[in-house]
Every structure is written in C-alpha cells, then in structure tokens.
Amino acid sequence: MTREAALSAAARGWRVLPLRRLLPGGRCACGDDGCVAVGKHPLFNGWQRVASADAERVAGWWNGSSDGGYGIATGAGSDLVVVDLDPRHGGVESFSAAVREAQRE
C-alpha cells in the first residue's frame, strides 16, 4: 500500500522520500530511544537532494529495502505549500483570522 501511495504522489510530480519504519513497541528504526519523530523522519541523510518524482527510483525504495512510510518534500521542488494547523494551540482560529484579513485587502 505504501509503495502504491508513494508512486501515486510521484506521478503528480511530487518529490517523494522513504521514512524510517516503526519497530515493535512503537520504537523508531533510527535506533534513538529518545526519538521525538518516531517513524516520521527520512530514512537517509541528504533527503532534500535525493527526494524524487522518478517512478523507477521511488519504486526501488519500496522494493524490499523500506517498509516505512513515505514523505513528500514540499516547497519549490514539488510546488507544494503545507499549512499545519494545531487546533490545540489556536491554529484553526488564527488561520481563519488570517484568511479573513487577506480577503479584506
């Protein structure tokens, strides 16, 4: 399933990268017992250069070498902007206020 989702994202022109997998007990495969991004950080260093929309490369990452999730490199390389709203800290309200303000201008 992850492989197909990563390939689907790459087909949209989004630069994909493999993420670390989760180990039994909810630990991260990075080996850091204090990892704060469990299963949510890149499998390798230099991911900014290596993230790719090339279907062959992306398929190869999930051809037995990775059973972790996938990430999408945002920004200029994928032409994506991500807005992460944290409702626990007023994110939705502050974003809504910013939209209303922009609409008034």
- Reported as type and span, the H/E element at residue 100 is helix 91-104
pLDDT at residue 44, as a whole number: 87
SS3 84: coil
pLDDT of residue 19: 93
Mean pLDDT of all residues in 2-15 = 93
Q: How far is residue 83 CA from its own chain's centroid?
A: 13
Q: Summarize the confidence of residues 80-96 as an average pLDDT.
A: 88
Q: Identify the DSSP state of 72.
A: E
Name the one residue in this structure whose structure tokens are 């206020």: 97
Q: Residue 87's beta-bridge partner residues?
A: none
**Model confidence pLDDT, tens digit, residues 17-58:** 999 988 888 889 888 989 999 988 998 889 989 999 999 999
- For residue range 52-81, list pLDDT tens digits in order: 999 999 999 988 656 789 999 998 777 888
For 6, 39, 72, 76, 91, the CA distances from 69, given in Å and listed in that order, are 9, 7, 10, 22, 26
pLDDT, mean of residues 9-16? 94
The answer, as to whether pTM is greater than 0.85, is no
